[in-house]
Each structure stands twice: as structure tokens, then as C-alpha cells.
Amino acid sequence: MITYYISTLIRQNLMNENDPHTAWEQLNMSYGTPGAASVFVEFKRLTQMTIQGIQDPTPAINQMQSTIGYLASNGLTLPNSAQAMLLLGTLPNNWQGFTSTLLATLHIYPTAAQVTAGVQQLMFDSVLPKIMEEWSRKSGKSIMPSLREWKEQNA
């Protein structure tokens, strides 16, 4: 059955194989591991991701996390600070003030050791909630309950 669904060129390599498990393992070994080109394509897609206007950033962030996971599982592990910088790079141009303020809160000082410490504070998981809060504020779709909802829940 396996040979019915593969190209004739690949099928020739499996003609003498009678055991389907062995044939599947051979196919997986030959074609199941992505090459450098496919890893590069995903890396390029990661660096070119953008979030448009006041669009909900959740789908883009989920895609970004998925791509980072794919890259890591294929040998390209990005430092957490680089992941956070890529995330900040996806934000729309009208978020530049937010980005500047967020980066300024890292207290990066002039010495090399202090700059390194500031960059290490920049982490994907710490930037993500701040982006979601800012999107909530900008879009008017608050993630916090309104005063009326709060009173009803606490009645």
C-alpha cells in the first residue's frame, strides 16, 4: 500500500523491500528529516511576520510560537531575548511608542555587563502579556471585566 502513494522514482528504492515497517522506516529516514532549506524557509517566515493595525495579535503570536518550536526541534534554538525581539518586531508601526517604553523599562545602562543584563531581561513570556494588554487597550476589547460585570460577579 505504501508504494501506491509514492512517486515512481522513490518506489524504485523500495522494490526489494517486503516488510512494510522497514520500508516506512527507510522512507522516514530519507525524507522525514527537514533539510537546511526547509528550516531556512521557516526562519525567514518567522522574521517576516507582522501584526496589522489593531488586529488581534493572538493568531500571529500562536503562529510565531509554533514556528519557533519547529525551528528548535530541528536544531535552530533562538535565545529567549531574540524571540522577544522578533515578537516586538512584528508589531505595527503605530506601536513604536509602546515598544520604546517597554524597552526603556529594562534599565539598560552604558556598561557592557549592564547592557547584557538588560537584554537578558527581555523574554518572550514577559513581553507577551504586555502586548496583549496594549492590544486590549488600543482595540477597546478589554480583557478585564468592566465595572458593571465586576459588580455583578461579586454581588
Evaluate if pTM is beyond 0.95: no
pLDDT in tens, 109-137: 555 555 555 566 788 988 999 999 888 88
Query: What confidence category does residue 19 fall into, taking pLDDT thresholds of 50, 70 and 90?
Result: confident
Q: Which three cell numbers stand for residue 135?
A: 492590544
Query: pLDDT value at position 109?
Result: 55
Measure the CA–CA gap between 145 and 22, rounded to whole angstroms.
Answer: 57
Q: Which three cell numbers stand for residue 128?
A: 507577551
Q: Are the C-beta atoms of 114 and 108 separated by less than 8 Å? A: yes
The stretch 22-34 carries a mean pLDDT of 79
Q: Which three cell numbers stand for residue 89?
A: 518586531
Query: pLDDT value at position 7?
Result: 81
pLDDT of residue 146 exceeding 60: no
To the nearest 10°, the Cα dihedral for 71, 77, 78, 80? 110
What is the rounded average pLDDT for all residues in the chain?
Answer: 81
pLDDT in tens, 46-79: 999 998 877 889 999 999 999 999 999 989 999 9
Q: Where are the domains of the chain?
A: 2-31, 36-139
Query: pLDDT value at position 59?
Result: 92
Tell me how far apart the 2 most distant CA atoms of the chain are, in Å: 75
pLDDT of residue 152 exceeding 60: yes
Name the burial class of residue 7, with classes exposed (0-12), middle (13-18) and buried (19+) by CB atoms within 10 angstroms of its CB: exposed
Residue 23 neighbours by CB under 8 Å, 6+ apart: 2, 3, 14, 17
Query: pLDDT value at position 22?
Result: 85
Measure the CA–CA gap between 85 and 102, rounded to whole angstroms.
Answer: 11
Query: pLDDT value at position 30?
Result: 77
